[in-house]
Amino acid sequence: MWCWFFLFSFFSLVRFVEALILSHKQLMENGNAKQTSPTRLNTFTVVSALLGSATSILLGYDIGVMSGAALLIRENLNISAVEEEVLVGTLNVFSLIGSLASGKTSDFIGRRYTIVLSSLTFLVGAILMGVGPSFAFILCGRMVAGIGVGYALMIAPLYTAELSPAMTRGFLTSLPEVFITLGILLGYIVNYFLSSLPQHISWRLMLGLAALPAIAIALGVIAMPESPRWLVMKGRIPHAKRVLLRISTTPEEAELRLHQITKAADPSPENWRGQGVWKDLLLRPSRPIRRMLVTAVGINFFMQASGNDAVIYYCPEVFKAAGIHRKKQLFGVNVIMGIAKSSFVLLSALYLDKFGRRPLLLLGTTGMAVSLSALGLGSIILQHSTSKPLWAVVLSIVAVCADVSFFSIGLGPITWVYSSEIFPSRLRAQGSSLAISVNRLVSGVVSMTFLSISDKITFGGMFLVLAGIMVLATAFFYVFMPETKGKTLEEMETLFEDDKNNTERNRAKETEMDVA
């Protein structure tokens, strides 16, 4: 039944995304008179992007379902708050292994089979968690699942970016965050309906059900093409051309994209065995590569330093401290938060190629700073009040919903888009892998220390610290992050050159246009 439900939901989502793309195309045509690259998409491209992005639902489901399962495990197995933090954070820490290994793995076996590896690894972890008789057994399951999540977080946006045309890449590459958000909402809904079962059954079902989407995704890879850019880098030009003919709307578009990819690629075997990649990326990077690395690592750092995952994981604990004690009410607030988060991530995905990355990101981080400040204020008032005033509870709920909504407008989708699109082809997998490894490391540290630090400085103090971090993030993005809207993947290195070179190049282009 669950497999049929997943398939029905997936194909419904395909139709929904096609409708969004139609309206998105109209917006792009109205807002951009000058188009230099193809913007049309066919159904096969949409389905492939959705299947590739669907691996991210594994992390989303875990984040959502663990927020409720952790409470039940703590009561059922009598574990401490520190053990709860370890249980929650272990998946994020071990996802660092998958993130670090994913770059070289995907360069060696290809993008498609890395998706299969991710799903099967998570499947094993989900089964171990679902049948776990003890804290140590569940912990082992979360370690294995974490490695699968690490692979998924790198490969989903990378595969989608390499498959997509430039003018709709932002929309399609934001789909991993859409699936993470839908996974979180699905986890909340599962929590709500299973919370009435006996404790020793409910949390096992919550965690074990994650195996179903993992199986469906692994099987769905059969219908997906390999990344044409990876095929070109491996010297398999005829195969890459066949894929481009399937994902392009005309043969002319396929030829144009193949020309752009082969022109920018360096198909020398030593580069794709990994030799020279780390040297160019870390030891002796050019100025554009250095700027790309700083920007990619920075956006991934601030995504998790925002505390968004911790807020979602421990939201029931926060509202329990605010005076809401019934599990149905706690999980009901989570569902409301998940609906708000899902709505805004879809809105952001739709307008990402219309307004660009920078404006939405700056709007998101500014809104998060304000929301976290309001949440901190509400939490402080609730902590120091014995009567728990209703207006402070309402303020806290609204502030949490606003925080996750602004995250879904900016940092949520744009982090994956930006990390997967800015590096040149031969450095893209390893560069994305490095940036996302920072993401997972910070996520693990935050999720494993959130409750302990909050015990020392209170929840209110913790949220005010996170608000300050978002102020710093806004300043960082304003200074370091160039706009990538409408640029092909092969144009990124030029974009990240210093301002003087960019100005001279723009003047030369303007002169050429005037002469023409």
DSSP 328-394: HHHHHHHHHHHHHHHHHHHHHHHHHHHH-HHHHHHHHHHHHHHHHHHHHHHHHHHHT-SS--HHHHH
What confidence score (pLDDT) does residue 62 get? 87
Q: 99-157: per-residue pLDDT in tens?
A: 888 888 888 899 999 999 999 999 999 999 988 888 999 999 999 999 999 898 888 88
Per-residue pLDDT, averaged over 429-435, amounts to 84
Contact call for residues 448 and 86 (beta carbons, < 8 A): yes
Query: Is pLDDT of 5 > 80?
Result: no
Quickly state the pLDDT bin for 46 (edges 50, 70, 90).
Answer: confident
Structural domain contains residue 373:
yes
Of 40-54, 316-330, 412-426, minimum mean pLDDT range: 316-330
Tokens of 365: 């981080």
CATH of the domain at 50: 1.20.1250.20
Q: Which residues contact 143 (CB under 8 A, 6 or more apart)?
A: 90, 91, 94, 125
Which helix (H) or strand (E) segment holds residue 417: the answer is helix 411-421
Among 138, 139, 140, 122, residue whose Cα is nearest residue 130 = 138
What confidence score (pLDDT) does residue 512 get? 42
Quickly state the pLDDT bin for 265 (edges 50, 70, 90).
Answer: low
Per-residue pLDDT, averaged over 330-339, amounts to 78
Tokens of 469: 């971090």
Of 2 and 368, the one with more pLDDT? 368
Of 69-73, 211-215, 408-412, 512-516, minimum mean pLDDT range: 512-516
Per-residue pLDDT, averaged over 16-39, amounts to 46
Among 210, 163, 207, residue whose Cα is nearest residue 73 = 207
Structural domain contains residue 293:
yes
Q: Which residues contact 291 (CB under 8 A, 6 or more apart)?
A: 480, 496
**HSE value, Cβ hemisphere, 13 Å, CA-based, for 455:** 7
Of 307 and 493, the one with more pLDDT? 307
Q: 357-382: per-residue pLDDT in tens?
A: 899 999 999 999 999 999 899 888 88
Domain count, the chain: 1
CA 249 to chain centre: 28
Tokens of 285: 């990077």
Structural domain contains residue 142:
yes
Q: Which residues contact 449 (CB under 8 A, 6 or more apart)?
A: 85, 89
Query: Is pLDDT of 40 > 60?
Result: no
Using DSSP's 3-state secondary structure scheme, residue 290 falls into helix
Per-residue pLDDT, averaged over 219-224, amounts to 84
Per-residue pLDDT, averaged over 291-311, amounts to 90
Structural domain contains residue 460:
yes
Running DSSP on this structure, what letter comes out for residue 107?
A: H
Per-residue pLDDT, averaged over 242-254, amounts to 87
Q: Which residues contact 511 (CB under 8 A, 6 or more apart)?
A: none
Query: Is pLDDT of 278 > 70?
Result: no
| CA pair distance 281, 278, nearest whole angstrom | 5
Per-residue pLDDT, averaged over 210-227, amounts to 87
Structural domain contains residue 35:
no
Q: Which residues contact 442 (CB under 8 A, 6 or more apart)?
A: 300, 301, 304, 305
Query: Is pLDDT of 222 > 90?
Result: no
Quickly state the pLDDT bin for 325 (edges 50, 70, 90).
Answer: low
Of 4 and 51, the one with more pLDDT? 51
Using DSSP's 3-state secondary structure scheme, residue 483 falls into coil
How many residues does this entry show for the chain? 516
Per-residue pLDDT, averaged over 188-192, amounts to 86
Of 69 and 33, the one with more pLDDT? 69
What confidence score (pLDDT) does residue 298 get? 94
Structural domain contains residue 255:
no
Structural domain contains residue 18:
no
Quickly state the pLDDT bin for 41 (edges 50, 70, 90).
Answer: low
Contact call for residues 95 and 142 (beta carbons, < 8 A): no
What confidence score (pLDDT) does residue 374 get? 92
What confidence score (pLDDT) does residue 9 get? 47
Q: Which residues contact 54 (CB under 8 A, 6 or more apart)?
A: 10, 156, 179, 213, 216, 217, 220
| CA pair distance 433, 331, nearest whole angstrom | 34
Contact call for residues 445 and 278 (beta carbons, < 8 A): no
Structural domain contains residue 249:
no
**What predicted TM-score, i.e. pTM, was given to this entire model?**
0.73
**Percent of the chain predicted with pLDDT > 70:** 83
| CA pair distance 44, 136, nearest whole angstrom | 44
- Show the domain range for 90: 41-224+281-515
Q: Which H, E and C letters describe 120-172, residue by residue?
A: HHHHHHHHHHHHCCCHHHHHHHHHHHHHHHHHHHHHHHHHHHHHCCHHHHHHH
Quickly state the pLDDT bin for 472 (edges 50, 70, 90).
Answer: very high
Tokens of 343: 């709505």
Running DSSP on this structure, what letter comes out for residue 223?
A: G
| CA pair distance 372, 381, nearest whole angstrom | 14
Tokens of 373: 């400040």
| CA pair distance 101, 430, nearest whole angstrom | 9
| CA pair distance 384, 330, nearest whole angstrom | 21
